[in-house]
Structure 1
Amino acid sequence: MGSRWTVERVLGLAPDAGAGRAARALARPRQWSALGSNESLVWGRCQGSAREPYQVTVDLNGPAFRCTCPSRKQPCKHGLALLLMWAANDGTVADLDAAADFAQAWAHDRAERSARAAARESGGAPDPEAQARRVAERESLMSAGLDEFERWLFDLVRQGLAGVRRQPPSFWDAAAARLVDAQVPGLAERVRTMGSAVHVRPDWAQYLLAQLGRWYLAVRAWRRRAALPVSTMGDLRAVLGWSRRQDEVLAGERTRDRWWVVGLSQEEDERLLSQRTWLYGEETGEVAVLLDFAAAGGALRVPQVLGSVLDVELALYPGSPPRRALLADEPVVGTGSGYPAPTTVLGAFDLAASWQAGNPWLSRIPMTLGAVTVVPGPGDTDGAVLVDVDDTALVLAPDTDIWPLLAVSGGHRIDLFGEWYDGHLHPCSLASDGRLVSV
């Protein structure tokens, strides 16, 4: 089987040139242990920045890759390096034919998922006992990982926060990798990003302390999960990174309304484009957000038009407001103008406080402000604020380009929608001449 693979073919699977170069550097047996292969699998352990070696498996029938490292790239450099070694050695990496436990478990899970998918396609019902067993196994793994994470938090606080700025990136990456191993990827991502935040944020100490409190709260809440309300458990699963299947969400709570598309917010990195589409219910007054994802450079599956109105039923994820949602059917798209319920700065903070009281892990809060004036700071962009009719000011994010705001508003009062996070407002859209303009 190895003859079908060449270095060029393996590197052709790399998500980018950097991953290919890193894989070449790792494709040396001295950096690996427990190497082995059989007719369908290649496996091994690679020592990385974490305390324990990463467990790497490649299913040759895909190929499909699985690695316990925290990388978001797929395949990661470890999986590519393992396949490079296997291909270069004519289809072997060692004399071990009995697959390692981690490789066997992953292959078994893949086979089970394939069987379940085939059963769904043929109309077969899922096995409830098997589902319950899988949930129990995951909960046990997560509990062990969160217990270890709690000890890590205690050690960090005991040693003092001042010392964390002297820690290398591996300090945060190793903790995140262990959470990934425990199937807690959402919390792992928050821990990993803290490694840079403590060096670039001027308020790093206050920010770190606040995040440590939220992380510890998640650990404690997980231990009381059986007693939590459904909405709180939904919030907890979101912060831990235990995602829900779309069919599960579509089978749950729904609500129909005419939904105003009042704000779009996009983020893009080297591999992923994501968009949050904020909706306001015309009749219910509820707030919901649609999350869309696409490969970098690709198109979003469900692009929405700012200022449009969607007559559609939404399937709501379990959780506290503002809630994530899915389109439950094909929307009837109309047009609208303005915002349903603009408010003052203090009114917006009252609503934000009630939302955050219900979900302490809420990081992005939608705000619709009415009749605000854009006031530049001393450096045109530094310290720019919005001032409402009560002369209450709200700080704009430092990276806000205020010139489009000033150009459209002409210095007059405007209605504006944005996301509040990290202590600043990040504008998304404003109302001008009866229409919404993206900013």
Structure 2
Amino acid sequence: MTTPEAADAPAERWSLERVRGAAPDAASLAAARRLTAPGSWSDCGVSATLVWGKCQGSGTAPYQVSVDLAGPAYRCSCPSRKFPCKHALALLMRWSAGDLEPGADAPDEAAAWARQRAERAASHAAAEAGSQDPVDPAVEAARAEAAAKRRDERLARMDAGVEELAVWLTDLARTGIAAARQRDLTWWESAAARLVDAQLPGVAEEVRALGRTVRHRADWAEHTVDVLGRWWLLVRAWRRRGDLDAASAADLRAVVGWAWATDEVRAGETVTDVWAVLGAHRSTDGGLLEQRTWLHGERSGHVVQVLDFAARGAPVPVARTVGSRLEATLALYPGHDPRRALLVAEPVAAGDLDRLPGGGDLAAARARRTAALAANPFVRRVPVVVADARVLPGADADTTGAVTVVDPAGRTVPGVATGADEEEVTGAVWSLLARTGGHPADLFGELQDGVLRVLAVGTGDGVVGL
């Protein structure tokens, strides 16, 4: 079968650094390296938008592997829940090394998959641009009335939940935080469950998190006072939410966990720009896997985060490659910077990022965090770029990922290179140390609780995610 993709010139070959940046973790990258031998592969090729091949695994039939470069997006018939899996990474490594020849015919499965992705993107764009069928005014009024009733009922439950939180905080302050530290997890879980019932899931998760960590943190007293102060501020702000401006009200809504409907966000502020992928981080919170991807608009100057979620065991959407540039329209959630955003349609690849934008020293990074807190006192993490920084390993860097970041003026901040488990932490921290080699480099990360979580490194060779 001759495909439209095959008629075009082959795509610009990815660098090995870009392939490494696409890996979901260090273990997948190590496994992929072991699969790059030519004897494992057959029927490989590359077109303007596709890379494909078959990799022989332990079974009789080889795995069918495809990469849609326009996303990028990854497809493999193996049972792995990681995206990209080790087979897709190995295929990209072979392409990067020049081992794949341009193919005249993409396999039917790969071509059909790419075509379906393109059709879905086109259909979605057409639906966004097209007009909707007229709605009966009476039906629309009934729907609006029902929605208003549901909103009022939810607000009543939330009001009651916030007042119960205020009583709980008052009792906790009266008995002392030392007594709270001795409580078992069921006490914290009981309080969190009541908040969930009151439709305050964001606060409930913070209560659970404090219960899990209060016994183990060396700075537990200071940390607990900070968290309790944040919750009391939330109580006071909720009581006066009618006096807040729109952005502050949206910040408050986010911290209590009242989600926005996607249609509401799409109908709001949108920005079309070339977006540089600065860094990405995955974390597991309870049974939910969260993926944060930070983007910088080259014309608008916006730095936004795109959040993706998946239940434990389910695949999370594929992360955009750190260091890539995407032409895309984003819909921005209401609130103060740094704002959350979502993609309006599938982005178009626009090359690679030469260097991290807008770098400064640690004083500038801390000033950025101070400004963000002044606008939104509930902000947890602030994206920053520290220019010409040196990275020094901590004594227990292998197991904790702890490092020290030093700026040109000699200022320091504790840093961390994080992973999902000890193996990934080890891979991330040594990748960070190897890429910097004791020399100055630009770092992108999240400044949170006085610690810089390093997500990407910018050197003369481009920008690479950890």
TM-score by length of 1: 0.69
Deviation, 1:391, is: 1.3
Shift of 1:435: 2.0
Partner of 1:284: 300
1: CA distance between counterparts of 2:133 and 2:219?
Answer: 53
- How many pairs were matched up? 320
- For the aligned residues, what is the CA RMSD? 2.1
Q: Is the 8 A contact 1:292 1:302 kept in 2?
A: no
**2:409 matches 1:390:** yes
Please state how far the C-alpha of 1:434 moved relative to its aligned partner: 2.9
Q: How much does 1:287 deviate?
A: 0.9
Among candidates 418, 432, 439, match of residue 459 of structure 2: 432
Counterpart residue type for residue 461 of structure 2: G
Q: Which residue, out of 291, 301, 311, partners 1:295?
A: 311
1:312 aligns to 2:328 (yes or no) = yes
| 1:201 and 2:214 are equivalent in the alignment | no
d(CA) in 2 for partners of 1:379, 1:294:
31
Q: What is the rounded CA distance, in whole Å, between the counterparts of 1:435 and 1:182 in structure 2?
A: 48
Question: Would the aligned equivalents of 2:337 and 2:372 in 1 still touch at CA under 8 Å?
Answer: yes
| Cα distance in 2, alignment partners of residues 324 and 220 from structure 1 | 24
Q: Secondary structure at the match of 1:199?
A: coil
Q: Which runs of 5+ in 1 are unaligned?
A: 1-119
The verdict on how the C-alpha distance between 1:212 and 1:271 changes in structure 2, with shifts beyond 3 A counting, is closer
SS state of the match for residue 290, structure 1?
strand
| 1:343 to partner: Cα distance | 1.1
1:404-419 alignment, distance < 5 Å:
404-419=431-446
Counterpart of 1:255 in structure 2 is: 271
Give the Cα–Cα distance (whole angstroms) in 1 for the partners of residues 335 and 417 of structure 2.
31
Opposite residue 407 of structure 1, the aligned amino acid is: A
The amino acid that maps onto 2:452 is L
The one-letter amino acid paired with 2:407 is: D
Higher relative contact order (CA 8 A, sep 6+): 2
In the alignment, residue 429 of structure 1 is paired with which amino acid? A
- Secondary structure of 1:285 counterpart: coil
Shift of the 379–177 alpha-carbon distance from structure 1 to 2, 3 Å rule, reads closer
Judged with a 3 Å threshold, the aligned counterparts in structure 2 of structure 1 residues 122 and 295 are, in CA distance, closer, same or farther, namely: farther
Asked if residue 243 in structure 1 is aligned to residue 259 in structure 2, the reply is: yes
Q: Which moved more, 1:409-418 or 1:270-279?
A: 270-279
1:130 CA drift (Å): 1.5
Candidates 188, 201, 217, aligned match of 2:204: 188
Rounded Cα–Cα distance in structure 1 between residues aligned with 2:384 and 2:435: 19
For residue 339 of structure 1, what is the aligned residue in structure 2? 356
For 2:442 and 2:297, the matched residues in 1 are separated by: 18
Partner of 2:88: none
Counterpart check, 1:165 vs 2:184: no
| Corresponding residue of 1:356 | 373
Please state how far the C-alpha of 1:229 moved relative to its aligned partner.
0.8
**1:404-424, CA deviations, whole angstroms, 9 ceiling, x for partnerless residues?**
222111211111111122321
CA shift, 1:269, in A, is: 5.7
Shift of 1:121: 10
Code of the aligned partner of 1:299: P
359, 377, 392: which one aligns with 1:375? 392
Check whether the contact 1:269–1:296 (CA below 8 A) recurs between aligned residues: no
Deviations 1:113-172 (A, max 9, x none): xxxxxxx99966472221111111111111011111101100000111111122121221
TM-score (norm 2): 0.65
- CA distance in structure 2 between the partners assigned to 1:337 and 1:298 by the alignment: 34
The AA in structure 1 aligned to 2:299 is E
Alpha-carbon deviations, 1:217-265, whole Å to 9, x = none?
1111111111111111111111101111100110111122111100010
Return closer, same or farther for 1:230/1:270 CA change in 2, 3 Å cut-off: closer
Give the alignment partner of residue 227 of structure 1, picking from 225, 228, 243.
243
State the alpha-carbon separation in 1 of the partners of residues 270 and 201 from structure 2: 28
Q: Answer whether contact 1:396 1:424 (CA < 8 A) is retained.
A: yes
